[in-house]
Structure 1
């Protein structure tokens, strides 16, 4: 054992800690110079498994002296809150074992004075985000300052790998490996289904020595249970159990220590915060709200309250999903479906966040199908059916941004950079022609923007090296670095000037003076908008609306969908073996009596005739994104045979087609409508694909640097950004049809919004299943939620309630007679 090793052992022993076997396995791999991937339960000690191994290796090579070592370790995290927490954890052993070495934090929240200090001399260890690392690569002396980096750790790799931020990280790693070929890279994750591939994406192609996949196995109890409503009823639609679960949730919080109440979207978090206060006004000041739109100071206050255990409960969104260490948290409640097994496990790990402590998550269903989902999620977790995360393929907007980044950071020659970029997994199949297109686009704006000097962003010097020579281009690029694109945000402020957070411009634009809305847990009255700020005052009226944020609803994952069908199969055979299935028995038996229960081997199709016209219900259990594509495809194919107009409704379990004019169902029941032939062309023809692609192009244009969000204090409005990106979209379509950014927009619509590969696989599964076709006399429990989805768009809450009451009365009268 080395002297450094003895020091580390002594440091551990001084805290009464005994290393786990998986931690020692990581230390050994790091000592051998291997990159790798560590997959271990949340709260099991992943951070120290990697960090102590790296620290031991560094201490062996560079014994602590009087001065700090140059930058040796970059620790990437996906969230700023996680960055601050990680910095504190890494600093603990450093203080005793290498007191002269420094550690720093660099994110968008880092004060300018601290950034300036780092610019003069980087710390030995830097905790940062993908965006901040990319900004470091734009420095003229990037090679000089970053070539000393020997280790890179990417925390919560599952959170990054499937997004453009992950691609940005891949390109940054490729650049760092050019500076330091012996770079060692490790990824940390707790919830991934494709570990081998995730490690391949992270590590350099064909690395020597071979990377190591370490699976951390420790005895950690994970309890997954369900808060079953006392009377779930025979019917199921979104939200019908929601508010009724208020009292049971309050009772659970009262029986527990500090509790996290997770919701999937910010508007739902605002609603549940109000519901809890409505039930327990005395909890004001003892419960809090946390989501990404709230002011930074508010979020930090909440996080501090969680760490100190001074808050009884916090209602949160994914803003608290990741590995921030809140030891006092005993319970996690998940309101509504988590939509995926990985997300549920990630949130469960927020409780008992320490080795040996049990984690517990309680699922709170808001409709009867979610009761079944709860049993399915527990079963899927038990048998290890966790979702895979795939890296995007060749996003050209990220590539274009990277070329300008590298041109700023010392410059590049095309041959060398092409070879470097291809070492990033996302661009492993990048062709020379595609790279040449991206280069030409950055150099002269491609085929259609050559006349505009501001799009001549890189210039080839006499030495053959491409650089950025225009200061305006450099400034705009640095301000626009990153791949996180959201709609223009407006600050929400009191008239006194205090900031509450930010809201999307589209919501604020719909408000009139005097309108009231809930935000940051308060009922506010809108006063006016001035200079990209919405001014409000505390409202005196009792009612308000809840803000709606952009972004599509989460879709049920394939793994969880399949698990739900397994539960349905058991119920169809009369086996209600889980308490959740027993609670859902009235709904499932009513579904069986009026129709059939879907199973893994059957495809249920229902037909119904009402005053609105002819209804067709299909239940592929493939998630709402796929169902949107399937419903549009079927409607288009049916109308192609005989002109007709269809209304569409979707949820995670199936979709509804409604037509005032009668149509033949035989093409559906025979399976002809599920043919895979001409699938891509038919899907594009069935949707307003041009509008979908144009909407997608807005994000691509901003990542590629075509559209700027403005300067600090002078942001552009959402309307301006849309107009600018829309103009580029039309120019490229007319004069530069081969533009790869247009191709990317269409590809992202298909792959991300419609999940075309999953859609194709779903069609195949539908063809392979036995068809159960059932003409209905009344809406079934599974068809009713689809009706409700459609009614909500045109009926007020009161009208919807009356309509549902009538439908249910008629159904009960007929089925009981």
Structure 2
């Protein structure tokens, strides 16, 4: 097996005291056989090097055998994060330089200077590290045919992180284009946390030919060491999400370690936790912060400091989830619930990042349900169980963007492009009629919009060939193409021009000169709001932190099932802290436990209102949707609903009249009637339409020399939305918006399953007061509009009051012997 590996490579490994691992050798074997490959290996197993091994081998003197090294682009590396591409470049240059291989390696992303981008198209490096969006833009240039003609392989790193979403759709379409340009191109995908390798093999394979993709299992590494942090007095909080109670213990952990990586689930929490740590940093330890809204310069500075071992701790978000190789991290901390075992495993792997050394992680639950979730995640990691999102049909808005990119690259034949598109699993379902609808939209915007010249982007000539109506459409496409549609952002900068990062327009609209807020680890005072900038200066103190409207991560179905099983595993409660065990025991005595196969609904009076708590375990998004639908039905039945709050585990709804029978409120026909009406009336469909309109190119965010504000984009999309709803309700973008609103924004699949099960699994328990299990969600009432973490102290006080009522046991009758 090792005989196939050039001696230059084996000697380099040996010189560092390493050996070529079995999976690395098998990746080279697969490439030599002309096979595509999917590598699933633990973090620290040398996955990235395994993916690049065929490229390195091609440039060794052994394989060149006296020939000159090949010119042009040979290997394309695609990653979900710009930080990951830069980290890989840093680590890949070492073996290339030490082996003396004649390989040029460069990165390309939105941060790459325009002159370098232009040069890369005419004189590309041998290896180009990029993202799905930058690759799609490259393919929109006429010279892309020449640039990619000699491409031998594409390496897709951390494939689990984006293959199942719209970025995966874009990449799948880019792979079909690359395969058409370079038919012998090989595909390789890498991941540590793929739950269903067969599904990923099918996604990776051209024409879904799973046999063309070899599955390579990595060598097993040391088992991770995961612990759950408890308060010093061993009382797990009832409410709150930030885990601020743990800050003193977390700081002591940072003091003990060389480097600690602290993960949070949101950008707000990253800033919040960083501020709390800095407030007690009496030793002036170098602690940094990293998230996607910080300026590029700030992120690069922190990444460099971490690579050099200059930081004792770094507070971050998913911006550093994937693949970043900092080998001297002692410990990873997860603040709040991990939401999935694969996500937790990925984050744990950032510690030590070596296959033969155990990674150490600490989970910090914010409340008692999060303690159960953390325990479930720890058990799953201990058992090697992974979870993840399932594949779904590719988005029509992404398909429209890809068709436009192809037209920018040059004229195309309709049937040839359709065949190319259908060769990927994501779009194998597209029939000719559906394709013509999308093509018609790209041509002129559709029936209701075709009278406007601005929407006439492509035209078919007499020979049946499609081409651009005007070259300017190519420039406009490249300025606006992309998949990630964030809320409109304003730049935060000092008067001298130093850029700190971006905050959402929604937050900036609440600011006035003199207001203060905490951002990028600094207390700032607003001097003025100018165009798309928030001009600031340093301030002494601030309590306000920008919040961002990003989508919440719901608990995975796998973890939710494990938590349900814990609730009915009474023998297993002995391993829990005393207060958690008592919480479950009193719940078990006073009500019921919502175990597998049961939808528990508790109703009780509280504070002169009537409450119903639905224990769904279907995630925040699904519970939010269910709350809106249930309150509509309550209103129709004269129950005078007052409102609702939701978390991942349960939904609390209150009104002026009691819910005597919850079954009619949960009947499945709610999705056929009320759901459609509610979505059409709510902001959900309009927001989904805004996203698909931007992705598909219908509405442009940027024009030469100027950028539309978020309000302008919203106004444009709302106007078109109303026109299409009235005159062309079957428009392809309305169909795409419905798919988004149903599948992604409301988790309607989980909601539908829940409602269908409710007919046979519903258990209704009427109580005289709040139950112990209801306390965590009840503490959220009146707080749902406040950013997470900002009101933890108040929540704890309120929780103790509710808990006293829920846990009162003076009326428990003694059990007779």
TM-score range, shorter chain: over 0.9
Instruction: State the Cα deviation string for residues 328-387 of structure 1 (Å, max 9, x = none).
Output: 111000010011111111100110112312211100111122122221111122334322
- Structure 2 equivalent of residue 184 of structure 1: 186
Q: Deviations over 1:145-203 (max 9, x none)?
A: 21211101110101111211111100000001111222210110111211111111112
2:220 corresponds to: 218
Q: Name the structure 2 match of 1:781.
A: 772
Whether the aligned pair in 2 keeps the contact of 1:39 and 1:214 (CA below 8 Å) is yes
Given that residues 64 and 101 in structure 1 are in contact (C-alpha distance below 8 angstroms), is that contact kept between their aligned partners in structure 2?
no
Cα gap change, 1:556 to 1:207, in 2 (>3 Å):
closer
Q: 1:790-805 alignment to 2 at 5 Å?
A: 790-793=781-784
Deviation string 1:1-29 (CA, Å, 9 cap, x unpaired) is 87862332233223322122222222211
Deviations 1:574-597 (A, max 9, x none): 43243x455522322332344333
Alpha-carbon distance between aligned partners in 1 of 2:237 and 2:169, rounded to the nearest angstrom: 44
Partner of 1:256: 257
Q: Following the alignment from structure 1 to structure 2, what is the Cα–Cα distance between the partners of residues 495 and 486?
A: 26
Displacement of 1:505: 1.0
Deviations 1:486-519 (A, max 9, x none): 1111110112321111111110111122111110
Corresponding residue for residue 576 of structure 1: 573
1:3–1:697 Cα change, 3 Å: closer
Residues 679-703 of structure 1: CA distance to partner in whole angstroms, max 9, x if unpaired? 3334223555553111111111110
SS in 2 for 1:680: coil
**Does the alignment pair 1:356 with 2:356?**
yes
Against the structure 1 CA distance between its residues 37 and 519, is the aligned structure 2 distance closer, same or farther, given a 3 Å change threshold? same
Match of 2:451 in 1: 451
TM-score of the superposition, structure 2-length normalised?
0.93
8 Å Cα contact 2:456/2:469 also seen in 1:
no
Assess, with a 3 A threshold, how the Cα gap between structure 1 residues 729 and 483 changes in structure 2: closer, same or farther: same
Do residues 397 (structure 1) and 389 (structure 2) align?
no
SS at match of 2:614: strand
Residues 502-541 of structure 1 aligned to structure 2 (within 5 Å): 502-540=502-540
Matches for 1:95-114 after TM superposition, within 5 Å: 95=97, 99-114=101-116
Are 2:645 and 2:777, in contact at CA under 8 Å, matched by a contact in 1? Answer: yes
* Cα distance in 2, alignment partners of residues 223 and 801 from structure 1: 30
- Alpha-carbon distance in 1 for matches of 2:609, 2:192: 49
Query: How far did residue 279 of structure 1 move?
Result: 1.5
In structure 1, what is the equivalent of residue 143 of structure 2? 141
In the alignment, which residue of structure 2 is the partner of 1:562?
A: 561
Question: How far 1:712 moved relative to its partner?
Answer: 6.7
Residues 256-314 of structure 1 deviation map (CA, whole Å, 9 limit, x = unaligned): 22000111001111111111111124325x11111111111111111112112111101
199-208 vs 149-158, which moves further: 199-208
Following the alignment from structure 2 to structure 1, what is the Cα–Cα distance between the partners of residues 102 and 55?
17
59-68 vs 755-764, which moves further? 59-68
Distance 1:811 1:31 in 2: 66
Distance 1:326 1:234 in 2: 32
1:114-133 matches, cutoff 5 A: 114-133=116-135
The SS at the match of 1:503 is strand
Match of 1:552?
A: 551
- Residue 295 of structure 1 is matched in structure 2 by 295
Check 1:167–1:810 CA distance in 2 against 1; reply closer, same or farther (3 A cut).
Answer: closer
**Aligned pair in 2 of structure 1 residues 770, 208: CA closer, same or farther (>3 Å)?**
closer
Deviation at 1:530, TM superposition (A): 1.0
**1:708 aligns to 2:726 (yes or no):** no
1:482 Cα offset (Å) = 1.5
Partner residue of 1:629? 625
d(CA) in 2 for partners of 1:810 and 1:566?
A: 26
Task: Give the distance between the partners of 1:234 and 1:336, measured in 2 at CA.
Answer: 12
How many residue pairs align between the two structures? 806
Partner SS for 1:584: helix
8 Å Cα contact 1:375/1:581 also seen in 2: no
Alpha-carbon distance change, 788 to 677 in structure 1, aligned in 2, over 3 angstroms: same
Quickly say closer, same or farther: Cα 1:333–1:803, change in 2 above 3 A: closer
Whether 2:645 is the aligned partner of 1:649: answer: yes
Classify 1:158/1:711 alpha carbon distance in 2 versus 1 (closer, same or farther; 3 Å). same
Partner of residue 680 from structure 1, selected from 645, 654, 672: 672
Q: Alpha-carbon deviation of 1:719? A: 0.5
- Asked if the contact 2:237/2:796 (under 8 Å) is kept, the reply is no
Q: Matches of residues 667-816 of structure 1 in structure 2 within 5 Å?
A: 668=662, 671=663, 673-677=665-669, 679-687=671-679, 689-711=681-703, 714-769=706-761, 771=763, 773-793=764-784, 806-808=801-803, 815=810
TM superposition shift of 1:245? 1.2
| 2-structure distance, mates of 1:800, 1:303 | 36
Match of 2:430 in 1: 430
User: Is contact 1:258-1:329 (8 Å) kept?
Assistant: yes
1:596-619 residue CA offsets vs partner (Å, 9 max, x unmatched): 332224432211113442111111
Q: Provide closer, same or farther for how the CA distance between residues 63 and 207 of structure 1 changes in structure 2, counting only shifts above 3 A.
A: farther
**Deviation string for 1:120-167 (max 9, x for gaps)?**
211111111111111111111222221211101110101111211111
Compared CA separation, residues 815 and 303, structure 1 to 2 (3 A): farther
Is the Cα–Cα contact under 8 Å of residues 621 and 745 in structure 2 kept in the other structure?
yes
CA–CA separation in structure 2 for the residues paired with 1:777 and 1:799: 25
Equivalent position SS for 1:792:
coil
Within 5 Å, give how 1:152-167 maps onto structure 2: 152-167=154-169
Over 3 Å counting, the alpha-carbon distance change for 1:754 and 1:715 in structure 2 is: same
Q: Residue 37 and residue 794 in structure 1: after superposition, are their counterparts in 2 closer, same or farther (change >3 A)?
A: closer
The CA distance in 2 between the partners of 1:807 and 1:100, in whole Å, is: 69
Task: State how far apart, in whole Å, the 2-side matches of 1:655 and 1:248 are.
Answer: 32
d(CA) in 1 for partners of 2:773, 2:705: 51
CA apart distance, 1:38: 0.5
Larger mean CA deviation between 685-694 and 740-749 belongs to 685-694
Q: Which runs of 5+ in 1 are unaligned?
A: none
Q: Does the 8 A contact of 2:407 with 2:468 survive in 1?
A: yes
Aligned to 1:280: 281
C-alpha deviation, 1:45, in angstroms: 0.7
**Given the alignment of the two structures, is residue 589 of structure 1 paired with residue 580 of structure 2, yes or no?**
no
Secondary structure in structure 2 of the residue aligned to 1:791: coil
Give the 5 Å matches for 1:75-86: 75-86=77-88
CA distance in 2, matches of 1:801, 1:161: 40
Secondary structure of the residue that 1:315 maps to in structure 2? strand
CA displacement 1:13-71 (0-9 Å, x = unmatched): 23322122222222211111100210111111111222113433566775575565221
Q: Distance in 1 between matches of 2:529 and 2:5?
A: 60
Aligned to 2:815: none
TM-score by length of 1: 0.93
State the alpha-carbon separation in 1 of the partners of residues 306 and 85 from structure 2. 17
Over 3 Å counting, the alpha-carbon distance change for 1:9 and 1:386 in structure 2 is same
- Tell me, yes or no, if the aligned pair for 1:372 and 1:581 is still in contact at 8 Å: no
